[in-house]
Amino acid sequence: MAGLDLNKKLWRIPQQGMVKGVCAGIAYHLDVPVKLIRLVTILAMLFGLFFFVIVAYIILTFALDPMPDEALHGEKQPSSGDLLNAVDEELAAGEQRLREMERYVTSDTFTLRSRFRQL
């Protein structure tokens, strides 16, 4: 977990929600899995907080704005596989540049130019 971002707005995410997207929005805000929030909600309902959970869910349904589609897709973080592929491409490009420099430095052209500069 990256930690809680205090500037991140609390939204409803109906695109990912089962009822109105309140649990999905809370999970997104807290950066935890949606299943964990749903499990806590169900357990709270089972252990005597049924009325409180229902009232809070209804209030949050009307109080929270739905997350716009562009905000949902715009903040997508790259996966670790994507990051590893990008690093691998950067390393391959750097290695290729290094080989080209090595090839030039060990060439006759470089030696000839160096000797002309010394004159």
Q: How far apart are the first and last CA of the chain?
A: 63
- Verify that 60 and 114 share a domain, yes or no: no
Instruction: Clarify whether residues 107 and 52 are in a common domain.
Output: no
The model's confidence at residue 89, banded by pLDDT at 50, 70 and 90, is: very high
Is residue 8 located within the same domain as residue 58? yes
Chain length of the chain: 119
- Reduce the DSSP state of residue 66 to 3 states and report it: strand
Q: Report the C-alpha gap between 96 and 7 in whole angstroms.
A: 42
Could you give the number of structural domains in the chain? Answer: 2
Query: Is 74 a residue whose pLDDT tops 70?
Result: no
7: domain range?
1-76
Residue 73 identity (one-letter amino acid): H
Same domain, 44 and 67: yes
Decide if pLDDT at 6 tops 60. no
**Residue 1: what pLDDT?**
46
Higher pLDDT, 97 or 23: 97
pLDDT confidence tier of residue 71, bands split at 50, 70 and 90: low
pLDDT of residue 70: 64
Structure tokens that stand for 77 in this block: 């973080």
Both 70 and 88 in a single domain?
no
Residue 12: phi and psi, rounded to 5, are -95, 145
- Give the tens place of pLDDT for each residue, 21-62: 888 888 888 888 888 888 888 898 888 888 888 898 888 888
Same domain, 48 and 63: yes
What's the chain's average pLDDT? 81
Q: Find how far residue 55's CA is from the centre of its chain.
A: 32
- b/e per residue, 51-82, with b = 16+ CB within 10 A? eebeeeeeebbeebebbeeeebeeeeeeeeee
58 in the same domain as 5: yes
pLDDT at position 94 is 92
Residues 58, 9: one domain?
yes
- Shared domain for 66 and 114, answered yes or no, is no
